[in-house]
Amino acid sequence: MQEKEAGNRGLHITAADYEYSTLMQLMGVSVSKHLLDEHYTVVWANEFYYELIGWPKEEYEATFHNQPDIYYQNDPEEWIRLTNVVQNAMAEGQSGYRLLSRIRRRDGNFVWVQFSTQFAEEYIDGCQVAYTVLTNVDDLVRMQKEQSVTYESLPGFVAKYRIDNDLRMTLLEGNTRYMNYFGYDAGDGSGGLHLRNIEANMEAILEQKENLMSGRSVHFVMHVKSRFDQFLWLQVNASCVDWQDGCPVYLIIFIDITDVTELRKMHKKLTEQTEALKDALAAAESANRAKSDFLSRMSHEIRTPMNAIIGMTTIAAAYIDDQKRVADCLEKIGYSSRHLMMLINDVLDMSKIDEGKMKIAHEPFNLENVAESITSIIYPQAVAKGLHFTVPLVDVVDTELIGDDLRLNQVLLNLLSNALKFTPEGGSIRLEIRQLRRYENCVRLRFTVSDTGIGMNQEFMDRLFLPFEQENAATGKKYGGTGLGMAISKNLVTLMGGTISIQSEPGEGSAFAIELEFDISGKAGKEKLQKQPALEALKVLVADDDRDSCIHAALLLETLGIHSDWVLTGKECVEKISGACREGADYDVCLVDWRMPDINGVEVTRRIREVSGPDTTIIIITAYDWSVIEQSARDAGANAFLSKPIFASSLYNTLLSVTGIGRAVEFSAPGMITRQIGMEGYHVLLAEDNDLNREIALELLKMAGITVDCARDGREAVDKFLSCRERYDLILMDVQMPVMDGYQATDAIRKSEHPRARTIPIVAMTADAFHEDVMRAYSAGMNGHIAKPIDQKVLYQVISETMAGQR
């Protein structure tokens, strides 16, 4: 075998290699043989290889030692790209690779080449061999780049389409602007926005079908949508530049003519302004109508509680010596006042909700207090209207909860007030409180307000929770209302993390269901409900025509360790008592509902006494004011009375009281003024210009043992503070006062030289009750805010907390 030295590396080629290299020389293309080592060493290359790179063979070998990695040392990125392609092809077991790349020539210029490499089954010194053909494609690449630059330089959007015989258009390429606006796949399986635009303009394209299929130039207008949701008018200028499989290929330039002249822009702007003015006018007219309707409704709503306040005040004055009658009038004045306050709060709440400023409290409360507060307001109104009102409790065990009882109370009163309005005399209203689930630390309750009223149609239910909505003008005029209650209720329930749903049919009544979750308070009333062995020995009978009420009462008795039975009619009750007496197993206590369909509670009591004598303790349970039947019930033999809904604590205390086992826990009546302990000796400066408001605040402060000095305006308040060093513990500051308002007075005090100028607590006491008013009070240097009308509990709480912070 003939061998000859190759280069200066001591590599050898065979006679067959020599013949092969001769053949490669005759082919007229660059052919080279390489080792697949770390250098991709050149074993052999024909003369066209050296012509392509511009290096004489001897100089190439002397300079680079047949090692391409040295040749590429000034082009590291190209070398990395090339070696990555080779290594990937070998790792994937491919027979070779193809690559379009640049090679630097000896003169420093680059030439574009096509690598076509085949891995051989041949090895030299343990390294596999590869054969590479380099094809000069520099002219083709440069032509493509020039074409691309041309496309990008043309005005407007440029694209190339092939048009098939059925006018199906295939996008071949497009300039960057076209692709960005119309060319990429929409991601919805439609194949791209450009195809949807073509389909939308197919009518205009069909008009050009004959010209398009014959390769003639065409010009027309398209209305298209871009990826940026813009609608454009485009002038289409298309020329046939090629044919593929008998189908014309068109180069199309789309020119945006949406705003072709300033006149069109001006016209468009004027049109938009005209439409905007029309919308603004319609909105203003709608707002004016809404305000007019709102004021009309508000007038009715405000006058109703005001009538009660004025009327009860007159009655109280006429019976000034009848303490019980006066107390009753004052209680009703309190209810009406709170209702009036609730109307005002509706307006304020709607504003807060719209501005996103409504906050939901997360504080301990007792569900019993909520139910008692609601029933004390609704029952008298239901009785006055001739309605039957019940509050059944179903599976309610947990009553010490954490949440926002004020907002819960507000929502339920809104719904119940509507039920009162829209239920005719002789109908019924029901508030069911059901415990749905109990988790480890929280409980889910459903509050269902149902009635047998006029009901609603589906159309109105769809817009029921929108502000100022009523079913029709006649309904609003007849029943009144602001149209805000339901919108506020829906928003409050949502803010509390709950849901509200409705079922209604015209003439069949309505049912609102609210589901809310509350955390369970750490205190569960254990001190109040400690089991008593004497109570556990009692045998109790419950008589109520409402099955849920019977089951609930039995459940409460069971939690106290008391065995009980229940019946649904007065007749059954008497028979049950009679049977027990005959068997010598008398009932110790009988809970009798006042209003049952067959025999009322008073008559049942009388009959029980005839059977059992004085041995059975009889408690009348009623949702109504029992004062109207108290005397007749006691004459019949009743021992005590218990209000519905029945809660564990009230039942427990009543049983303790009537059986003589213990003393019932005493509770203050809602709204009853109580003396606040721990404030005696405080000295307060009260700045208030309104005589009546000043008198109210003065009396409330005195009831807590607080000494009070008064100022009639801000200037007087500043003077009194400055002249009485170390005297005042706190300043209650009205905001809107003559001479100097509360903000100015606070600023003057804070900037004075008084030794307590910066430490004296100042609390705003004002009718400015919006969130921004509270923030303004703090910004002015005040330490707290109390909204008017003054709530006694809030007043004492703020004073206590403010003074505690000074210690």
CATH of the domain at 235: 3.30.450.20
In the prediction, which pLDDT does 490 show?
86
pLDDT confidence tier of residue 668, bands split at 50, 70 and 90: very low
The two tokens of residue 774 are 């509270």
Q: How many CB atoms lie within 10 A of CB 359?
A: 10
Q: What percentage of the chain reaches a pLDDT higher than 70?
A: 78
Query: Is the domain of 55 the same as that of 125?
Result: yes
**Lowest-confidence region among 286-300, 506-520, 728-742, 756-770:** 286-300
Query: Is the domain of 513 the same as that of 388?
Result: yes
- Reduced 3-state DSSP string for 609-660: HHHHHHHCEEEEEECCCHHHCHHHHHHHCCCEEEECCCCHHHHHHHHHHHHC
Q: How far apart are CA 343 and CA 352, in angstroms?
A: 14
Query: Is the domain of 655 the same as that of 700?
Result: no
User: Is the confidence at residue 120, as pLDDT, over 50?
Assistant: yes
User: Is the confidence at residue 350, as pLDDT, over 70?
Assistant: no
Q: Of 276, 462, 371, whose CA–CA distance to 644 is shortest?
A: 371
Query: Is the domain of 484 the same as that of 538?
Result: no
Is residue 566 one of the residues assigned to a domain? Answer: yes
pLDDT in tens, 446-457: 999 999 998 888
Query: Is the domain of 380 the same as that of 474?
Result: yes
In the prediction, which pLDDT does 714 show?
93
Q: How many CB atoms lie within 10 A of CB 549?
A: 25
How many Cα atoms occupy the beta-carbon half-sphere of 451 within 13 Å? 24
Q: Of 390, 394, 374, whose CA–CA distance to 429 is shortest?
A: 390
Yes or no: say if 718 and 742 are a contact pair by the CB < 8 Å rule. no
More confident residue, 156 or 320: 320
Q: DSSP labels for 291-306? A: HHHHHHHHHHHHHHHH
Contacts of 69 (CB under 8 A, 6+ apart): 38, 39, 40, 79
Is residue 287 one of the residues assigned to a domain? Answer: no
**What is the mean predicted confidence (pLDDT) over 486-494?**
83
Q: Is 438 helix (H, G, I), strand (E, B) or coil?
A: strand
pLDDT confidence tier of residue 329, bands split at 50, 70 and 90: confident
Supply the DSSP symbol for 527.
Answer: T
**What is the mean predicted confidence (pLDDT) over 474-498?**
69
**What is the mean predicted confidence (pLDDT) over 509-514?**
92
DSSP bridge partners of 570: none
User: Is the confidence at residue 121, as pLDDT, over 70?
Assistant: yes
Q: How far apart are CA 620 and CA 634, in angstroms?
A: 10
Q: Of 434, 428, 355, whose CA–CA distance to 385 is shortest?
A: 428
CATH code at 708?
Answer: 3.40.50.2300
Is residue 267 one of the residues assigned to a domain? Answer: no
Mean pLDDT of the chain: 80
Query: Is the domain of 81 the same as that of 155?
Result: no
pLDDT confidence tier of residue 9, bands split at 50, 70 and 90: very low
Q: At what angle do helices 323-355 and 367-385 cross, to 10 degrees?
A: 110
For 413, the enclosing helix (H) or strand (E) is: helix 405-422
Query: Is the domain of 645 the same as that of 542?
Result: yes
Q: How far apart are CA 454 and CA 449, in angstroms?
A: 14
Q: Scan for tokens 């649904």, then name that residue.
A: 568
Is residue 297 one of the residues assigned to a domain? Answer: no
pLDDT confidence tier of residue 20, bands split at 50, 70 and 90: low
Q: How far apart are CA 162 and CA 251, in angstroms?
A: 9
Amino acid occupying residue 716: E
**Greatest Cα pair distance in the chain:** 143
Query: Is the domain of 458 the same as that of 509?
Result: yes
Q: Of 208, 266, 216, 219, whose CA–CA distance to 241 is shortest?
A: 216
Is residue 664 one of the residues assigned to a domain? Answer: no
Last residue of a domain, one of 114, 136, 158: 136
User: Is the confidence at residue 411, as pLDDT, over 80?
Assistant: yes
Is residue 192 one of the residues assigned to a domain? Answer: yes
Q: DSSP labels for 23-34? A: HHHHHTSEEEEE
Q: How far apart are CA 608 and CA 606, in angstroms?
A: 6
Size (the chain), residues: 807
**Based on the structure, what is the number of domains in the chain?**
5
Reported pTM: 0.44
Rounded-to-10 torsion of CA 488, 489, 492, 494:
-110
Is residue 27 one of the residues assigned to a domain? Answer: yes
In the prediction, which pLDDT does 3 show?
39
SS3 content of the chain, % helix, strand, coil (to 5): 45, 25, 30
CA 147 to chain centre: 55
Is residue 668 one of the residues assigned to a domain? Answer: no
Angle CA(109)–CA(113)–CA(116) in degrees, nearest 5? Answer: 150
Residue 407, class by beta-carbon neighbours within 10 Å (0-12 exposed, 13-18 middle, 19+ buried)? buried
User: Is the confidence at residue 699, as pLDDT, over 70?
Assistant: yes
Q: Of 646, 642, 543, whose CA–CA distance to 600 is shortest?
A: 543
**Lowest-confidence region among 21-30, 242-251, 632-641, 769-778:** 21-30
Amino acid occupying residue 350: M
pLDDT confidence tier of residue 671, bands split at 50, 70 and 90: very low
Last residue of a domain, one of 75, 110, 136: 136
Query: Is the domain of 55 the same as that of 191?
Result: no
Pairing of strands 169-174, 157-163: antiparallel
User: Is the confidence at residue 636, as pLDDT, over 70?
Assistant: yes
Query: Is the domain of 131 the same as that of 153?
Result: no
More confident residue, 517 or 180: 517
Query: Is the domain of 505 the same as that of 551?
Result: no
Query: Is the domain of 151 the same as that of 129?
Result: no
**What is the mean predicted confidence (pLDDT) over 746-762?**
92
In the prediction, which pLDDT does 153 show?
56
Domain of 516, in residue numbers? 359-520
Last residue of a domain, one of 233, 256, 279: 256
